[in-house]
Amino acid sequence: MAEQEDMPEGALNSDQDAAPQVSAIAQYIKDLSAENPSAPQVFQWQGTPQLDVQFNINVSRVSEEVHEVVLRVELKAGSEQGAHFLVDLSYAGLFGLRNIPEEALPPFLLVEAPRLLFPFVRQIVAEAVSNLGFPPVLLDPIDFGSAYMAQLEAANGDLAGGGQPLADVEPAGNA
């Protein structure tokens, strides 16, 4: 406490202004499609449908310090009889990033931001499937860190094959 009292007020404020800051500004459904193409016959079908879940992450810069991260999840359920249901959700978040080193942006935007959005995506998908007349589907957690590392390894593999050095590769935004 005594150290702070000895420091000029401007020095304390400048340290706070230079500190890395991250904030979630907003979260929203960008696009949602839920289909039950085989109704009402699907409710008479026997057996458990096979689920296919795909995800994708897109990042775009909205302004100097604001990025939009869109987590897209596509869920398809089908069996030999046909399609049971389809849910396609793009859920976005706006993240304010100030004083973050450039090399720290991709790990945050492609790992931490989607991790923060995922619980909401999981809830929306479960409710959409339930509203289609089926038992809710609870998506298994996604390891965004592993997906990001796989993307980096793929970029390093391209480098070994004569591609661009990793430092020159822009983050694709897809995991």
Cα(109)–Cα(92) distance, rounded to whole angstroms?
12
pLDDT of residue 164: 41
Structure tokens at 143: 């390891």
For the 21-168 domain, the top CATH level (class) is: alpha beta
- Domain locations along the chain: 21-168
Q: At residue 133, what are phi and psi to the nearest 5 degrees?
A: 100, 10
Instruction: Please name the residues in contact with 86: beta carbons below 8 A apart, sequence gap of 6 or more.
Output: 33, 34, 35, 37, 74, 75, 76, 77
The mean pLDDT value of the chain amounts to 85
Task: Give how far Cα 116 sits from Cα of 19, 44, 94, 143, 164, Å.
Answer: 22, 38, 11, 12, 31
Q: Measure the CA dihedral 168/72/65/9, to 10°.
A: -120
Average pLDDT rounded to a whole number, residues 44-73: 95
Cα(162)–Cα(175) distance, rounded to whole angstroms?
22
Average pLDDT rounded to a whole number, residues 140-158: 87
Cα(120)–Cα(88) distance, rounded to whole angstroms?
14
Average pLDDT rounded to a whole number, residues 45-66: 94
Predicted confidence (pLDDT) per residue in 9-29, tens digit: 544 455 567 888 999 999 999
